[in-house]
Each structure stands twice: as C-alpha cells, then as structure tokens.
Amino acid sequence: MPKVEIRSIENGPNLVLIDGKADVAFCRCGQSEHKPLCDGTHRKVNFRAAGTVTVLTQ
C-alpha cells in the first residue's frame, strides 16, 4: 500500500504526496481561480497559515 501524506505548506496549499512524490496541491486560501486546485494566488493575497503534516497510510 502506498504511503499517502497531506502536507499543509506554511502560507501555502495542501500538498498531497504519494510515496514521497507530490501528486496534487489543493487551495487553502480560498482565492484560487481553479478551485479546488491551487493556482498560486495565496502569494498575491498574502495568505498566512501554519504548516502541518498528516500521514494517512503507512
């Protein structure tokens, strides 16, 4: 079974990693033009939030 992690990047998106490789980035700032995907708008709107790591499978 692959290892799946969700990393909330500090001041950025939720990044989904499968076996350590980035698969997709989901918007956390709510301002993306391509929701639910991140388009980098968090940088323009000066989004601020802490980072975390969640392991879903091992």
Half-sphere exposure of 53 (CA within 13 A, CB side): 7
Give per-10-residue mean pLDDT for the chain (58 aa): 93 96 97 98 97 83
Asked if residue 11 lies in contact with residue 50, where contact means CB atoms within 8 angstroms, the answer is no
Distance, in Å, from the CA atom of 27 to the CA atom of 38, rounded to the nearest integer, reads 4
Domain ranges of the chain: 4-55
In this prediction, residue 58 carries a pLDDT of 58
Q: Which CATH architecture has domain 4-55?
A: 3-Layer(aba) Sandwich (3.40)
In this prediction, residue 21 carries a pLDDT of 96
In this prediction the pTM is 0.87
The conformation of residue 44, written as its DSSP 8-state character, comes to: H
Residue with tokens 């692959």: 2
Determine the longest span between alpha carbons in the chain, in angstroms.
38
